[in-house]
Amino acid sequence: MTAFSLEGISKRFGEVTALDNVSLSLNEGEVLGLIGQNGSGKSTIMKVMAGLHRPDSGVVKVGGRAVQLRSPAEAALAGIGLVHQEQSLIQALSVAENLFLDKPAGSTWAGVYRWNSLRDRAKAQLDKVELDIDPFTPVSALSFGQRQMVELAKVLSLEELVHGHLVILFDEPTAVLNPPEIQALFGQIRRIKHRSSVVFVSHRMDEILDISDRVYVMSDGRNVATRDRDAVNPDELYELMVGRQRVNRKDRKPREAHIGAEPALTLNHVTVPGEIEDISLKLAPGEILGLIGVQGSGAETILRTVFGMADDWQGKIEYFGAPLDIDTPAQAVAKGIGYLPAERKTEGMIRNTSVSENVAITYGWQHGRGAGLISRAKERGMIEGWVRKLAIKTPSIAHRIDNLSGGNQQKVVLSKWLFGKTLKVLMLDHPTRGLDPGARSDLFAVIRELADQGLAILLVGDTLDEVLTLSDSIIVMKDGRVSARIEGVQAAPPSEEDLVKAMV
Ligand SMILES: Nc1ncnc2c1ncn2[C@@H]1O[C@H](COP(=O)(O)OP(=O)(O)OP(=O)(O)O)[C@@H](O)[C@H]1O
């Protein structure tokens, strides 16, 4: 039976048509995988379904009845809940407070929390997702995986609120999860299927094929195909989405320019108490060194320490043979070190400004004030060049970054580092997070090109496949220490299984 449907839905934002006459039907107990390139309209569909956007035209039906969902609260009463990415929780509040923030009835009295009742109700929700934590733990103390489960628990309180069938929407929930966490999430999705239908957005084909019953493909605001899971393979889905064939890992060519070069960056016995211990590594100009490990393994801390963001570290860091004497990110940038953080929304993006301002910002940082002056026309040309190269979907470079889709915002934040000419070391933390498969392979080509031009690149990858495809050497991290080193990967590539063994 059809649990939910969209019929002929259109939605425009100014001059952008985000959804163009889109129809979708969701059967009871079904998981529908939603895929499409960055900016193809996936989030907009979910937001229409969740009552966050009103469509310009078309009909929304729940259980065969036409409805108007004017707010998330109305959608919730109709049994529809959107599981946000983990970033939407309020860090300073406890898990319990976050769970019931938008539905205080029963836990507050005259605006005052009734702590015992809040604890019990929160515990019951956390039990559903098998999260064994104190409900009063502050969200800031949780891992990404735990936060994602809290997001799910929050939406699952619909189970008590609504008696009928539920529709649970997941907008890229796995982007920040490691493989065991993804499996735990999939376990929960399978569990809730008995009384829910699910829409699941991901850029990873293997996940889509693992969890979905049907796959719904978007391109440029339109639905271009819907397929039963058993009737498609990843290559076909890729072509439907991107309109071209994908590049295979086997197509990569060995790069040897860096071998024997004087290192750009050397870490000797570097320790950050409680985070990394006794880390030594060398990175040469033209080399791509991949760091991998599960969340909390310390790989990200290495990047932040080199970028002047660790308060307290011991050991020695050398930059082209001299001690790296920096205390702040600004000093790192002035010396030619760039850093793309994983948390692009909070750390990388300058809100309420244009695409071009976001791209050009580092130029001044790198060259100093005054020295950074280039002609407007030249600057414009360079920015437009990156927008084309990374296929950033924006009406113009003057458009506000806030109005781009999530993946396109990430491309803008990335291109600001590629824009400068004085960089010598570039550190990338999960550079392809949130990017669609076509954008990923474009970015791979850009990263390799930069290394070929002599940039030293330190990469914390999103997936094993990414690290294996890009890196010349790999360091595996576990519990803050190096657990394996693989030099010259292309000579004898390690298997993914070997890498996982060293990670856990
Ligand atoms: N609030 C908004 N204001 C203006 N334009 C918007 C707004 N929200 C979305 N858009 C535009 O609508 C189009 C579809 O965006 P949407 O976020 O649905 O894409 P998506 O498929 O979810 O992309 P991604 O994979 O990058 O998350 C994009 O061109 C985007 O710039």
Q: What is the pLDDT of residues 54-91, one digit of tens each?
A: 999 999 999 999 999 999 999 999 999 999 876 678 88
Kindly state the average pLDDT of the residues 23-37: 96
Beta bridge partners of 218: 36, 223
Q: What is the pLDDT of residues 187-205, one digit of tens each?
A: 999 999 999 999 999 988 8
Q: Indicate the class that CATH gives domain 248-333+423-431+454-504.
A: alpha beta
Listed in sequence order, the residues at least 6 apart from 276 whose beta carbon sits closer than 8 Å to its beta carbon are 270, 298, 301, 302, 305, 477, 480, 481
Cα–Cα distance measured from residue 288 to residue 495, given in angstroms and rounded to the nearest whole number: 19
User: For residues 148 and 348, which has the higher predicted lDDT (pLDDT)?
Assistant: 148
For a mutational test of ligand 1's pocket, the pick from 19, 43, 49, i.e. the residue with the most ligand atoms closer than 8 A to its C-beta, is 43
Is the CB of residue 95 below 6 angstroms from any atom belonging to ligand 1? no
pLDDT at 290: 93
Alpha helices in 273-354 (DSSP H): 299-306, 329-334
Q: Which CATH number fits domain 337-422: 3.40.80.10, 3.10.129.10, 3.40.50.300, 3.40.50.150?
A: 3.40.50.300
Q: What is the model's pLDDT at position 462?
A: 74
Assigned fold of 2-242: Rossmann fold (3.40.50)
**227-284 tens-digit pLDDT:** 999 998 888 888 888 765 555 555 555 666 677 789 999 999 999 998 999 999 999 9
Q: List alpha helices for 335-394, DSSP H.
A: 355-367, 376-389
Ligand 1 centre to CA of 391 (Å) is 14
Q: Whose CA is nearest to atom 25 of ligand 1?
A: 38
Packing angle between helix 437-452 and helix 234-242, nearest 10 degrees?
Answer: 80
Q: 38: Cβ below 6 Å to ligand 1?
A: yes
Please report the pLDDT score of residue 277 as a whole number. Answer: 94
What is the rounded average pLDDT of the residues 447-453?
A: 88
Q: Which residue has the tokens 């294996």?
A: 468
Q: What Å distances lie between residue 174 and 6, 69, 501, CA to CA?
A: 25, 27, 21
pLDDT value for 85: 73
Q: pLDDT tens across 392-412, in order?
A: 989 999 999 988 888 888 888
Quote the DSSP letter at residue 63.
T
Distance CA 401, CA 413 (A): 10
Give the pLDDT of residue 371: 42
What is residue 325's predicted lDDT score, i.e. its pLDDT? 85
Mean pLDDT of 302-319: 92
Per DSSP bridges, beta strands 456-460 and 314-319 are unpaired
Q: Which of 184, 85, 194, 199 is nearest to 433 (CA)?
A: 85
Selected residue with higher pLDDT from 1 and 342: 1
337-422 and 2-242 share a CATH fold: yes
End-to-end CA distance of the chain: 43
Report which secondary-structure segment, H or E, holds 441: helix 437-452
- The per-residue pLDDT for 341 is 83
**pLDDT tens column, 95-145:** 998 888 766 454 454 555 556 678 888 999 999 888 999 999 999 898 888
pLDDT in tens, 407-438: 888 888 888 877 666 789 999 998 888 788 88
Protein residue whose Cα sits closest to atom 1 of ligand 1 = 403
Strand partners, 266: 282, 318
For residue 26, give the 3-state DSSP assignment.
strand
Mean residue pLDDT across the chain: 85
Q: Where do the structural domains in the chain lie, given as residue ranges?
A: 2-242, 248-333+423-431+454-504, 337-422
